[in-house]
Structure 1
Amino acid sequence: MKKLLHTNHFAEMLRFGFVGVVNTLVDIGVFSLAIFLGIPRVFSQVAGYLAGTINSFFWNKHFTFRDKDHTDILKVMLFVGVNLVSLGASSWGIFLLPLMGMPLWLAKGCVTILSLAINFFGYRWLVFRKK
């Protein structure tokens, strides 16, 4: 455990957590606004997720993983791929969980946690991996 606390990976995890909180606030803010405006929940999920994703790429590249590589086209494509997987999983969840009786906001919390896990490991191992 001591070794983990003193590694660059732990610092990345902390920065990812901070960026994740900001992304989640952006996501929930856009999602809530869309729901308030009467947009169906799956489309609201997509809108919120996309807003958080745009924010996420910038902050994770420059702050979390401190990526200095300028070959961003491949990174953007990988980032989009990871986020499409995450978006698909979260959209199915936000559609299915309320149908199974889960309150919408609890379902939103569950799919947010699922997305967080998919995104961290996808970003760390695919998008911003160290050479």
Structure 2
Amino acid sequence: MNKKDIFIGLVVGFVIGLLLIPTLGNISALQKIQALLGGSKSLLYVILLVALPIGAALGITVAGFIGRGAPVIWQIAKFGLVGVLNTALTFGVLNILIWTTGIDKGNGFAALNVIAFIIAVTNSYFWNKHWVFTGGRHQQAEQFVEFIIISVIAAGVVAGIGKVMTEYVSPVGGLNSVQWANVVTAIGVVFSMVWNFLGYKFIVFKKKD
């Protein structure tokens, strides 16, 4: 760990906070959180755009110290932060698309999920290659193909879950269709994070022998 890693934590934390704004706004959560904070919009934005980046940087710092004795902890921490960034990017793009198109179920929603996922995967490749999993064993072209294969499988599962659960399963817990679409996406994201970590670590970015 070095100063660059701490700076990355700050930047990534800030971007995550920024991306949470359209997501929370679209699911009608932004005003509720603001109400819990005494109606202070400025405090809400301080939490998202100042406290969150500082927390991310502190988390990376702690993981860096722990990772000196257990390198896998350091790698998991970096992957986790990138994973949160990708999740925020997925939800941010998805909710902007839902808001602009009005589509929140069925084949249309599955297509929106794929678009959001592709954007997040492109971001994911950059961060995983250059920060999380360094020193991979493959040439770039071969490595990228493997990355795409692993990611496309995850995207297919996420899109399938999205289609089935928004078209054939009614929202539960009093959620509206947009909130339910976000819950469904969250279920898919959990699967994709586990699948992608295993695939990236042991296939795509596997260390040279």
- List per-residue Cα deviations over 1:97-131 (Å, max 9, x = no partner): 22222421211110110110111000011100112
Query: How far did 1:18 drift?
Result: 0.4
- Higher radius of gyration, 1 or 2: 2
Query: How far did 1:67 drift?
Result: 2.9
Q: Which residue of 1 aligns with 2:100?
A: 37
Within 1, Cα distance between the matches of 2:201 and 2:170? 34
Kept in 1: contact 2:91–2:182 (CA 8 A): no
- Aligned residue pair count: 128
Q: Which residue of 2 aligns with 1:86?
A: 154
Q: Percent of counterpart pairs with the same letter? A: 25
Within 2, Cα distance between the matches of 1:45 and 1:76? 22
Structure 2: unaligned runs, 5 residues or longer? 1-65, 172-179
Name the SS for the 1:37 alignment partner.
helix
Match of residue 7, structure 1, among 70, 79, 82: 70
Q: Which residue of 2 aligns with 1:100?
A: 169
- List per-residue Cα deviations over 1:34-74 (Å, max 9, x = no partner): 11121521111011100100000000011111236672101
Within 2, Cα distance between the matches of 1:67 and 1:113? 27
Within 2, Cα distance between the matches of 1:15 and 1:51? 19
Match of residue 23, structure 1, among 86, 92, 97: 86
Q: Which moved more, 1:36-45 or 1:9-18?
A: 36-45
Q: Following superposition of structure 1 onto structure 2, how do residues 56-67 of structure 1 map, counting pairs within 5 Å?
A: 56-67=124-135
Instruction: Give 1:112's aligned amino acid.
Output: V
Name the SS for the 2:135 alignment partner.
coil
Cα distance change, pair 91–50 in 1 and its aligned pair in 2 (3 A): same
Structure 1: unaligned runs, 5 residues or longer? none
Within 1, Cα distance between the matches of 2:86 and 2:139? 24
Within 1, Cα distance between the matches of 2:181 and 2:161? 10
Q: Which residue of 2 aligns with 1:120?
A: 197
Q: Following superposition of structure 1 onto structure 2, how do residues 66-81 of structure 1 map, counting pairs within 5 Å?
A: 66-67=134-135, 71-81=139-149
Q: TM-score, normalised by structure 2?
A: 0.58
Within 2, Cα distance between the matches of 1:125 and 1:68? 10
